[in-house]
């Protein structure tokens, strides 16, 4: 029987990773177990406690963290006033994970990532395959330009009423033109990125409300989503969490996840992104868990990554979307299998 109470956090702290940044981390499970790292979604999402339910507590040493600017890490990306996100890139996040791994004295670990966390897990694994015992991806993304343009603009064909409100806010306040499809056009994600970092508190908070409302709309199809509810109630002030979530999401998405040329140093074609580097994961156990009804992140990405990843397993849940009970059950099963295999190889 699966426990409904997550194992208690046994250690935690703030770790200085340079450039005046500190990341919050926490440890639970067996001190001598197989190391398992959890990477939350967003970018800018919450760490929460639910992730601690999915790893076999008696066999795994589970580590979670709040990524740069998110959660209890400092400085917070959602603080009122000007924000400098130049030190927030995927390369920075990957480097932070290496600092954390060395700080905790871990030789290699299993990576598990949900939504945006799956992009970060792939980026880390491609950069450090020898430090990677396995990779489990849930609600799979690679944050390519195709995915970003779909989730912010293309999927509007399914939710035209909600997308009209979302796009009109940018047209009114930042000059976005929904009819412009020219190569050099202003992308909607870039328009929102500019608004939420404009320095105008009213404009920033209005854009945060609009973005969060749209976020709820496109992840709601299928079973309840992994990311939860985002919309800021009209009678409540915009929170630091909501402001940070949108600032980080638009920052990373407007830059195609900072992975557009990720694979180039390893001989892949420029612009091939994470997909071009999947060959580096050959021999590393992998599981990709995705919902067929995840309209904000179509299954095409999970399928392409799986085909390019020798030996990986793809599980698509037909009746679920950006998360759901069946996907979570598969998460636990796949992760338990990875932990068991890693424990056996350790002897």
84 is an active site residue: no
Q: Give the position of tokens 């409300």.
A: 209
322 is an active site residue: yes
CA distance 286 to 112: 10
92: tokens are 């920075």
41: tokens are 């979604």
In eight-state DSSP terms, residue 323 is: B
Q: Which of 173, 218, 306, 322 is catalytic?
A: 322
167, 178 in Cβ contact below 8 A? yes
- From residue 193, alpha-carbon distances to 23, 75, 130, 200, 207 in Å are 23, 19, 36, 13, 9
Q: Which of 115, 144, 296, 312 is catalytic?
A: 115
The burial of 169, by beta-carbon neighbours within 10 Å (0-12 exposed, 13-18 middle, 19 or more buried), is given as buried
290 is an active site residue: no
CA distance 316 to 296: 15
Angle ∠(42,48,51) on CA atoms, nearest 5: 90
Angle ∠(72,110,7) on CA atoms, nearest 5: 55
- From residue 320, alpha-carbon distances to 130, 209, 224 in Å are 34, 26, 8
Count other C-beta atoms under 10 Å from residue 107's C-beta: 10
CA distance 66 to 242: 15
Angle ∠(137,140,143) on CA atoms, nearest 5: 120
Helix or strand (DSSP H, E) at 326: helix 325-346
CA distance 204 to 195: 6
At 116 the three-state DSSP class reads helix
Q: Which of 28, 255, 294, 312 is catalytic?
A: 294
Give catalytic residue positions. Answer: 115, 294, 322
């Amino acid at each position: 029987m699966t426990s409904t109470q997550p194992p208690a956090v046994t250690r935690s702290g703030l770790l200085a990773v340079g450039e005046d940044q500190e990341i919050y981390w926490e440890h639970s499970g067996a001190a001598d177990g197989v190391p398992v790292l959890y990477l939350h979604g967003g970018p800018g999402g919450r760490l929460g406690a639910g992730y601690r339910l999915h790893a076999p507590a008696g066999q795994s040493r589970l580590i979670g963290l709040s990524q740069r600017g998110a959660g209890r890490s400092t400085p917070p990306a959602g603080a009122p006033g000007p924000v400098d996100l130049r030190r927030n890139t995927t390369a920075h996040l990957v480097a932070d994970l290496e600092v954390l791994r060395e700080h905790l004295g871990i030789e290699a670990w299993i990576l598990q990532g949900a939504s945006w966390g799956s992009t970060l897990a792939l980026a880390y694994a491609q950069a450090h395959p020898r430090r990677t015992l396995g990779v489990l991806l849930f609600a799979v993304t690679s944050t390519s330009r195709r995915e970003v343009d779909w989730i912010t603009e293309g999927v509007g064909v399914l939710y035209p009423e909600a997308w009209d409100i979302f796009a009109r806010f940018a047209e009114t306040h930042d000059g976005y033109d929904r009819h412009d499809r020219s190569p050099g056009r202003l992308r909607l994600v870039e328009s929102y990125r500019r608004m939420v970092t404009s320095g105008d508190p009213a404009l920033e908070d209005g854009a945060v409300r609009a973005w969060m409302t749209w976020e709820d709309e496109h992840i709601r199809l299928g079973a309840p989503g992994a990311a939860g509810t985002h919309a800021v109630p009209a009678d409540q002030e915009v929170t630091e969490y909501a402001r940070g979530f949108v600032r980080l999401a638009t920052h990373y998405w407007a830059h195609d996840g900072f992975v557009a040329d990720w694979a180039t140093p390893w001989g892949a074609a420029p612009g091939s992104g994470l997909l071009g580097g999947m060959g580096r994961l050959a021999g590393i156990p992998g599981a990709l868990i995705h919902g067929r009804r995840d309209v904000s992140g179509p299954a095409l990405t999970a399928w392409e990554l799986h085909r390019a990843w020798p030996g990986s397993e793809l599980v698509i849940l037909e009746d679920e979307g950006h998360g759901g009970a069946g996907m979570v059950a598969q998460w636990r099963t796949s992760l338990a299998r990875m932990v068991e295999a890693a424990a056996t190889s350790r002897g």
